[in-house]
Amino acid sequence: MKKVIITSVAMASLLTLGQADFSISDMLKDMKDAALTFSSDAKDTVSTIKDGMVEVSKSAERTTTNVSNNTKDATIKISDDMKTMEANTSSHAKTVATDISSDTKNSLKTTTTDLKDSAVVASTDMKDSASQVSSDIKDTVKSVSSDTTTSVKTISDAAND
């Protein structure tokens, strides 16, 4: 500020010296006017800077409030989404466990039924096979016995003749 005033005084002096009707009172009046103008301009500048700083402060406050509100809203939304996700996961896990249990039960029941049916079929087949083999052996023994009796009778008849 001092430099501006000194420069203004020097300029006013040079301009005043250049005039033919040089007067110290005019020079002092010009210096006073220049100082008042600079003072008024400086006051306006300080006032404008103050208003600007107030506006920047208010803007920062609004921005902070908005960011805070947005962060709060986002946090609440994330929390709600996580609760929903947890509930859905629990529900789906329960459904899957129930389905697996039911499928396992049905599978075991089917396997048991199949094993029982297979055992019955195998037992019946073995019984039928044993009966058939027994019948075949009986028929074979009868046939061999009959053939042996016939052969012995033939040999005996031939020996008696």
| Domain ranges for the chain | 2-160
Confidence at residue 12, expressed as pLDDT on a 0 to 100 scale: 66
Q: In this structure, how many other beta carbons lie within 10 angstroms of the beta carbon of residue 121? A: 10
Which candidate, 53, 43, 9, places its Cα nearest to that of 28?
9
Per-residue pLDDT tens digits of the chain, which is 161 residues long: 677 677 776 766 666 555 545 577 777 888 888 888 888 888 888 999 999 899 999 998 999 999 989 999 999 999 999 999 988 888 888 888 898 989 899 999 999 998 999 889 988 989 988 899 888 898 898 888 888 888 888 888 888 76
Confidence at residue 20, expressed as pLDDT on a 0 to 100 scale: 45
Radius of gyration of the chain (CA): 62
Burial-class residue 5 by CB neighbours within 10 Å (0-12, 13-18, 19+): middle
Burial-class residue 48 by CB neighbours within 10 Å (0-12, 13-18, 19+): exposed
Confidence at residue 157, expressed as pLDDT on a 0 to 100 scale: 82
Confidence at residue 21, expressed as pLDDT on a 0 to 100 scale: 55
